[in-house]
Each structure stands twice: as structure tokens, then as C-alpha cells.
Chain A
Amino acid sequence: MLVAAPARGADKRPLPDYDGRGDPPTTVGDVLLWVPRVLLAPPYLVSEYVIRRPLGAAIAGAERAGWPGALYDFFTFGPEHNAGFAPTAFFDFGFKPSVGLFFFWNDALARGNDMRLQFGFWGMDWLAASFTDRIQFSCDPTDVITIGLSGLRRPDFAYYGIGNAAGEERSRYGSSRLEGRFSVDKHWWRRSNIHAGTTLRQVSFHRGHFGEDLVLDDAITQGLPPPPGYTEGYAMAKGDVSVSLDSRLPRPESGSGFRLEARAAHSGDFRGLGSWISYGGSGGVFLDVNGRSRVLSLSAGAHFVDRIDKSVIPFTELAVLGGFGPMRGFFPGRLIGQSAFVSELAYKWPIWIWLDGSMRFELGNVFGEHLEEFALKNMRISAAIGVESAGVSDNPLEVLIGFGTERITDGTNIDSFRLFVGTHRGF
């Protein structure tokens, strides 16, 4: 037991018989208690003497030595501690994990100017870096101009093919991406927003690997048609706009309302692939069941990517489902097509101050041009349940378990399992 001074061998005073009746007699219950005590003695000994007491001595000693203050000063900077860094980690089942560092600097050059710098790493072929400068241009903290630069190189991207019938055989490829972006976000009513931005992006592909999975380069050698844009890579510029009309109020107000969103973008490749437009929209209704953030929602959305003239749309710029977007029960990059449709029934509820539970049930898939082959039988099912941070925009914590299925016409068997835990999105 933690005490201020080492035991001085002080014998305890004899306890008086407070009520004069001595110790209560041993009952059958007292004896029976020894059954679970004996059975649970091993975990008790471990939890108490291997974990709790040594850890307590170490942490208490560190506190007395002033380590928490020193650590706080180590991880944060400035007189108001508005800058600092923290370690991050992310695990996504079926992909390489990553660890990283997250740097923040709030009110960097002026009040309302926040900078973020993030690094991720898992071996020399897995490197990521991102710099973001957000400038708040009005009293509303969501009115921001964002300037960003990012780079990503990783070897474990997954490719399953293009189209709604893409099977579960996957191959791995590597990709290097360099991107710069500039955007303006203006909040205008409740959670409604207008966004406009421009992005410069350079992407190249290389031989990848992950475990025993097939390598895409080898699959191409064996006769698989290379995905569009894979062999040459691309360098593009993109301009995009989106408008959302969202009647929901921010927490702790009721989460009931509706959301409509429309977006469009024009992209062009500098190296001769051509240009294309992408556009889409979504709509949803939200019902806060009891006015206390238990929100049931029903939404649907579609996304289209159309080539202009005889352009080649790089496969990574097509409509993609899975990962951290719609159809989360599927691997990132699992579903690629020229158009996509997803409908979702979701429920979110609070479980702690900064944590929400979430459940999603989605029906959707990718399709050909303009929802070619769109039919209920060609839909897939995605379901996921998890826990996520509430009200945290930088590096939210998320734990998710989910699965995805074959198309309904193929039997709806589960062909995708998703598990991820982490504080950053793994780029």
C-alpha cells in the first residue's frame, strides 16, 4: 500500500471490541466466498501485485518527481500551451498499421489561424506527411480558408477491379501522391455550408505488397487489364464546389433535421489523359428520437464521374466506395466504378462525454456510366458498428467493426471484414 514513510514496524493498536459481541460468526456464505476467491486468485494476484502496485509506485514516484509537469512542458509549447505535439497510431485490419506524430499550433500567426502538421510512418516504403493551415475569417469558427500540402507513399493499396461485379480477389499496389490544395468554407445557416476549392495532385504508381496478397503488377503481367491511369500515373488540377443545406442544430440541441448536398468538380490531367467532371448529391433526414442526440437517419446519395471527350479517368479518381466514406464495411478502394449509389440507415447515440456509438446499415454499389446496371439485385450490403469521438475534428478516435457482402444477385455472402482502431485516418 502506498504510504508516505516506509513501515516502521509499528504494531497496530489492538482493536477494541466495539459492540462487545466479538467478531460475527462465520456463515456458510463466508465459506462459499472462498470458492470464487480461489478460482480468481491468479488474475487477482496479477492485477494487484504485477500491475497495480508496481504501476502505482512508478506513477506516484513520477508525480512526486514532477514528471507530469515536465511531460506537459515537453509536449506543449508557448506561454499558453497553444502549440504541441502528440503521438498517433492507426490500425486498419488488412493494411499496414502506422504510427505518427501530430503537431498543432493554434492561433499561430494570428488569432484564428491554426496550423497542423502530421507525419505517419511504417517502414521506409510507408511515409506520409501533411501540413494544413486553417485561417478563420469571421467570428464563426467554421468559416475557414484552408491551405494544405500533403504527401503519401505506401505500398499496400488494394485493388479489386472496376464495376459492381468486382470479385473479392484483391491485388496490392503502391502509390506515391503529392498534393496541394486551397479551399474556402463558409457556414451560412445552422450546419449548412458552402465549399469551394482547388487541388493540384500528382500521383504515381509502383509495385506494392502486403503479406501473401497478389501484387497488381504481377496480375497485369498475367493478363489483367491495367486499371486506367495505372501505368503512366497522372498530374491533375481540380476545381470543386459543394453546397449543403442542413437544418440540424449543433449539439446539445436536437439532432433532428434534414440535409441536402450537391457537389461538382472539374479535373484535368496535365499529361494528356484528358479531363473529366464529377458531380453528385445526397439527401437525408435525421430524427433525434428523444431530443438528446439519439439520432436515427435515413439518407441516400449518388456520385458520377464523366469523361470529357475521349479522356481516360484514372481509376483512383473514379467513384470509390469503402474505407472511410460510404459503405464502411468494405475495404478502402474495394468498390470502384464510374458512378455510385448508396442508401444508408444509421443510428448514433452518446455513450460518454466525448464518445458516440454508431451503427450503419448501407445498401449500395458502384455502377457503370450514369448508374448503368443499376438494380436492386446488384446492390451490396454494408454494416458497421463502432465508437467514435464526438465533437473532435482533429484526429478523432474511432473504433469500427463492419462487414460487406457480395451483390444480392450473387447471394449476399460476406466477402469483406473491416476492423480499425485509431486516432488518425492512415492517410
Chain B
Amino acid sequence: MGRTSTHFDSSWGRTVASRSIRERFAKARCSLMGVAAFATTLGCAQAARRFPAREPMWKDTDQQPISVPCEPRPTEKEPKHVACAPEPYVSPLIWDGLDNSVFRPIAKVFAVDPPREARNVNALDEVPDSAWFNNRIGLRKPSREELLRGACTPQEMLDGFTAAAGSWVIDQGKPNGASPGFRIKVGGKRKFMLKTDTKEQPERPSAASAIGAAIYHAVGFNTSCEQVIFVDRRALWLQPGLKVTDNSGVTKPFDQAALENVLAQAPSRDGYVRLQASAWLPGYLIGPFRYEGTRSDDSNDAIPHEDRRDLRGARLVAAWINHFDAREQNTMDSWIASGKEPDSSPGYVRHYYLDTSDSFGSEWAWEGISRRLGHSYLLDWGDIGQDLVTFGFATRPWERVERTPGKEAFGYFGFREFDPETWKNEYPNPAFSRATERDNAWMARILSRFDRDDVRALVDLGKFQNAEDAEYLADVLERRLELILARYFRRLSPIADVKVTPEGQLCATDLARRRHVWDDASFRYSAGLQSGSGRSALPIEARSDGEICLRLPEEKKMASMGDSYVVVIIANGASTYPLRVHLVASGQEGGYRLVGLERLEER
């Protein structure tokens, strides 16, 4: 597999479409229409711009406390309650699907608004920490314990095996949603929602919640604390007089019979019932965030969500685990007040990802839909139109997917028909639709930090009864990750972790080589220095574990020549485009200073 190879034969015998064809049409993909394509093509090729000599921005300013005007917000317990927090947003489920499937795409075509590069990108082509995203595995390898704990604090870890009888108090039935459950309060800890799996796919939903949440958290998103637990029924104590309203609006008592009905659907092991535990989020919950626009009552929310790199990049995480249900209803905003009262001002809004229980192969009642999940929108005008005018000439990936014998619990979750570039969720997501090559490459760099051992350990969070199920899931996840990395390390440079050593070397990590995306022979490094004096080659050394280093010219010499700003261009021979490292030579003891990184689609 050389740098310019056009076909990629994977170890499992599938041939990936020619990269050169995609490269040839790469610029055309920048636009929506013919004129816009030409216009945007011109705009895609950016001239090199200098970075200022300052520390890269690693902390955004959107967690500054803000105040919200107070208003009456009566509750059942406090009819005269006044809240000084944003008003909760109730997401319109039907309109969200209808709008994103029909009306928004039509309006956007007429708006001629092709995707631009994301707004919140720092000088190192990374995303600063914010109320949306905090760099974790992408910057620093977490300990195994941190990785597996996910968003759970040590105090939130539940142990149903040792729970005393009656110590888990059920104080609410689960009001709506697909899976039955109830809320508990555990003395000294927060509230948890406990849910059961489905009979059709036991273990998968709860495992997907726990594993998915841990993955999203490790990547950097805010998530809820999700765990798979086993509990003795005797630990549960039902408060009398509870009622619950189901999806159709009917209110029924949540009594012992209702509880038994819920528990009857849960798998059990050695007398312990398997449940999924979701910890209540901190703060005052104000409803989900939208993937488009901003929240008008949050002055910190200044970047249209569809232009945030973190939300755009989340597409690849969703693709990896096939979280097709990545829509606004599976997110949550929480008002984090500075004071004691959760709905008091000042405070700020923190944004969470929720509910990945659809991942790893959830199925709908209709097989035709289940097959399409991840490959086509529920109502995909493009696919329908293409199939209509081509008379069904092409066989579609959803027609080729098969369940794995013995692994029916994972539905159609596999890797053979997985294409990270064309992966789709249920219906168009405004942020996902605007993800650029750089956004996807950014997330690919983060995902590459998950080693195979990490993936295997994360899968164990699912507590599968059958070890083969865990092995299967880990294998599929690893193969899907390999496909993601093979695609998104192919064009833009996967070189990261750039630093200037005290010895005057410029070192970095080629994440593609570290992760063995291609054979070592595919990597042929070259580097050049670009300054006011011209260009010169730099010898570069490839070391173990993906590390590369090159010696920079003496910075005093460069500074004395007036070349205090230099750009080092590093190519790895496997990816199409190089990395541009922007350095400032101070001419003092400080040496070179890294001021910027660019991954442009130009050589």
C-alpha cells in the first residue's frame, strides 16, 4: 500500500473504492451547485497566513458566569417559585425529524451556504476546552481506571451486589421512552434512572449506554454517568403512591405489579437483575441543545452549533459506534449555577451528550429500516432519487448487510459495509452535514488514541455474560476504527503532538504509523523549511511508536537573517497533504516557539 495506491485491500478481503477518484472530486464536494462549486473551490485553497507569537488558546470563554433575568416558574411543590435560569426547552420530536428531513435541506439549498471551516479551532488545529468539550484522550492518555469510569465520580459508582435490602428507594416510575424503568435514590448519592434491556436484544442497550458514554467522555464530551449494574431485587424499596404517565399520555399507578412487570423484562444472572443505571445530571436541566443556531438566552453561546468543530467531529464518534440516534433529543443542557440554588444566577450552560443505547446494532420493528441504519437516512431523498433514476442498478450497502450468526443481539452492526465517509444517522444533522475534512481529521486523530487494549477494556463495561460477545464487539469496533483512520488519515496529515525540544529538535507523532494504519513501508518522511530566505530540505528521523524528529537550524542564525518566522513542512509519504508547522525563532535562549499548525489540502 504505497502513498499513491489506488486500491486498498483490507485483511478481510474487501476492496475500498479508489482514493484517486475521491481526490479528483474532492474540490467538487466543497460546494452545493455548479457555480457555488466553482466559487467555493476558489475559496477552499487558502493562502498561508501567519500565526501570532502567543500561546495557543486552550480554554474558551463560554464558561464565564452570566446572569439571566428571573421569572416566575411555579412547580407542584412551590407554586410561587421564581427561577433565574434559562427557560427549559422542550424539543419537538416530530418537527425536528420533519424539518431536518424536508424543510431545512430545501432552505439550505436556496441559501447557498456551503460548509466553512469550523469557528472554534485554535492555532494548533485543535479545539479549546469549553462548556461543550474538554480535551481528554486527545491530549493526555488517561489511566485505565479513568478511562473506564467515564463521567462517573467514584461516589457515583453503584454496587448492586452489596446493596443492603431496601437501600435503593424507588421514588418515580420512568415517564416515557422505549425502555421501561424507574428512578431510585441511594442514600448519600445522587438519583439514578434504572432501565431494562429489551427482550429482543438483551444486554446490548445497557452495554451500549455504558460503553458509548465512556467513549464520548474519553473523547472529550460531557456525558452522563452510565453503568451496567446487577442488583438483588430485595435492595429495591418502592415508595407507595407513585404514578407514571406513559407515551400515550395515560397515567397509571407505578405499584408493585408495575415494578414486577419492569423487572420481568430484565435479564438476570445468578439471581441478580441486570439494569442500566444513569446518574442524574448535575445542575438545573434546561432541555436539549439544537444542532443548529444558538440559544438566544445564553450569551455564552455565540457560535452557531452547526459551525462548532466539536459537534461536527462528533459525527465520527457516532459513526464508529453506529450511534444513529444522534439527534437533539439525545442531548441535554444544564444550567450550572454559581450559587446554592440550581436555578439561580449567575451561572453558565454546560452541554451534554446522552443516551447511546442505540449503538452497536439497535434494530427497529421493520427490518427494512434496521438494515438502513448507518447507511441511509430514514427518508433519504438523495438515495430514493438515485435508486429511482438508475432503476436500482447499484446494490446498496444496506442490501448487503447481514447479521452475524450467533451474534444476532448486535443486529446489523459490523464492519464489512461500513464507510465512515458516507455514514449517516437517522435524519440529517445540521452539524454532521457541515463537517469538513479538517473536522473529521481532527476527530480521527482523537479516536486514534484508543488502542486496541483500550477498546477491549471499554467493551468490558458492557458486562456481557458471554465472553465471545465481548470479543466480537471489540473486534468490530477495532475494524471500524481502522476504517475510520484509513480514510481520514489518507488526505490530511495525521502528524500531531508537535513540540520543540530543549535540544532544538522538532518532534512529533505520526498517529497513523503509531496506530499501524498502513505498513511501515508506506511511510517515507520528508521535511522542508520555508522561510524568507527560501526553502531548504531538513533531514528527518523516524523513531519507534510513530515518533519523528528533525533538527531545526539554529534559531539565532535564522533570527539574525531576519527569518524569525519559519514554516516546517512535514510529509509522511502516506497521506496526501503535509503538515505545516509554524515556528517563531526568538533569537534568545527560548529557541523556537511553536505558534501554529496547519493541515491544508495543498502541497
| Contact pick for B38, options A31, A32, A56, CB 8 Å | A32
Q: How far is the CA of A215 from the CA of B286 in the complex (A)?
A: 68
Taking the nearest CB of chain A, how far is it from the CB of B15, in angstroms?
18
Of residues 361 to 393 in B, which have CB atoms within 8 Å of A's CB atoms?
Answer: 366-369, 372, 379, 383-384, 387-388, 391-392
Q: How far is the CA of A410 from the CA of B33 in the complex (A)?
A: 47
Cβ A10 vs Cβ B248 within 8 A? no
| Contact pick for B399, options A5, A52, A72, A292, CB 8 Å | A292
Cβ A16 vs Cβ B60 within 8 A? yes
Return the chain B residue nearest A76 by Cβ: B248
User: Please, what's the 1-or-0 string for A23-58, where 1 marks a CB less than 8 Å from any CB in chain B?
Assistant: 011011111110111001101100110011001100
Q: Does B87 contact A (CB under 8 A)?
A: yes
Q: Does A13 contact B (CB under 8 A)?
A: yes
Contacting chain B: which of A221-229, A269-277, A347-355?
A: A347-355
Cβ A63 vs Cβ B93 within 8 A? yes
Of listed A47, A51, A359, residue having the most chain B CB within 10 A: A47
Cβ B395 vs Cβ A52 within 8 A? no
**Interface pairs (9), CB distance under 8 Å:** A4-B89, A16-B57, A18-B120, A27-B46, A28-B42, A29-B44, A349-B391, A353-B372, A357-B387
Given contacts A27-B43, A35-B35, A37-B111, contact A21 B387 (CB under 8 A): no
Question: Chain B: interface residue count, which band?
Answer: 35 or more
Cβ B249 vs Cβ A4 within 8 A? no
Chain B residues with CB below 8 A from A347, complex form: 391
Cβ B39 vs Cβ A4 within 8 A? no
Cβ B296 vs Cβ A5 within 8 A? yes
User: Please, what's the 1-or-0 string for A1-15, where 1 marks a CB less than 8 Å from any CB in chain B?
Assistant: 111111110111111
| Contact pick for A8, options B52, B54, B69, B90, CB 8 Å | B69
Cβ A52 vs Cβ B301 within 8 A? no
Cβ A5 vs Cβ B39 within 8 A? no
Of residues 328 to 349 in A, which have CB atoms within 8 Å of B's CB atoms?
Answer: 347, 349
Q: Does A393 contact B (CB under 8 A)?
A: no
Q: Does A310 contact B (CB under 8 A)?
A: no
Given contacts A3-B295, A33-B112, contact A52 B107 (CB under 8 A): yes
Chain B residues with CB below 8 A from A32, complex form: 35, 38-39, 42
User: Please, what's the 1-or-0 string for B84-101, where 1 marks a CB less than 8 Å from any CB in chain A?
Assistant: 001111101111001100
Cβ A56 vs Cβ B95 within 8 A? yes
Q: How far is the CA of A115 from the CA of B24 in the complex (A)?
A: 59
Q: Does B207 contact A (CB under 8 A)?
A: no
Taking the nearest CB of chain B, how far is it from the CB of A68, in angstroms?
6
Taking the nearest CB of chain A, how far is it from the CB of B401, in angstroms?
12
Chain A residues with CB below 8 A from B301, complex form: 12
Cβ B95 vs Cβ A60 within 8 A? yes
Which A residues are within 8 Å of any B CB, using their own CB?
1-8, 10-16, 18-21, 24-25, 27-33, 35-37, 40-41, 43-44, 47-48, 51-52, 55-56, 59-60, 63-64, 66, 68-69, 72-73, 252, 290, 292, 294, 347, 349-355, 357, 359, 387
6 shortest interchain CB distances as A-B pairs: A29-B43, A4-B89, A349-B392, A29-B42, A44-B110, A5-B87
Cβ A33 vs Cβ B40 within 8 A? yes
Return the chain A residue nearest B116 by Cβ: A24
Q: How far is the CA of A355 from the CA of B89 in the complex (A)?
A: 36
Q: How far is the CA of A59 from the CA of B97 in the complex (A)?
A: 11
Q: How far is the CA of A146 from the CA of B594 in the complex (A)?
A: 81
Q: Does B121 contact A (CB under 8 A)?
A: yes
Cβ B52 vs Cβ A20 within 8 A? yes
Return the chain B residue nearest A387 by Cβ: B388
Taking the nearest CB of chain A, how far is it from the CB of B246, in angstroms?
10
Of residues 291 to 306 in B, which have CB atoms within 8 Å of A's CB atoms?
Answer: 292-303
Return the chain B residue nearest A58 by Cβ: B95
Of listed A18, A63, A355, residue having the most chain B CB within 10 A: A18
Q: How far is the CA of A224 from the CA of B178 in the complex (A)?
A: 67
Return the chain A residue nearest B387 by Cβ: A351
Taking the nearest CB of chain B, how far is it from the CB of A273, in angstroms?
47
Return the chain A residue nearest B62 by Cβ: A13
Cβ A47 vs Cβ B302 within 8 A? no
Chain B residues with CB below 8 A from A1, complex form: 290, 292-294, 296
Of residues 101 to 129 in B, which have CB atoms within 8 Å of A's CB atoms?
Answer: 103-104, 106-107, 109-112, 114, 117, 119-123, 128
Cβ B295 vs Cβ A21 within 8 A? no
Taking the nearest CB of chain A, how far is it from the CB of B549, in angstroms?
25
Return the chain B residue nearest A37 by Cβ: B112
Chain B residues with CB below 8 A from A51, complex form: 103
Q: Does B41 contact A (CB under 8 A)?
A: yes
Return the chain A residue nearest B293 by Cβ: A1
Q: How far is the CA of A7 from the CA of B301 in the complex (A)?
A: 13
Q: Does B49 contact A (CB under 8 A)?
A: yes
Chain B residues with CB below 8 A from A294, complex form: 391-392
Chain B residues with CB below 8 A from A350, complex form: 387, 392
Given contacts A8-B68, A29-B39, A64-B92, contact A20 B54 (CB under 8 A): yes
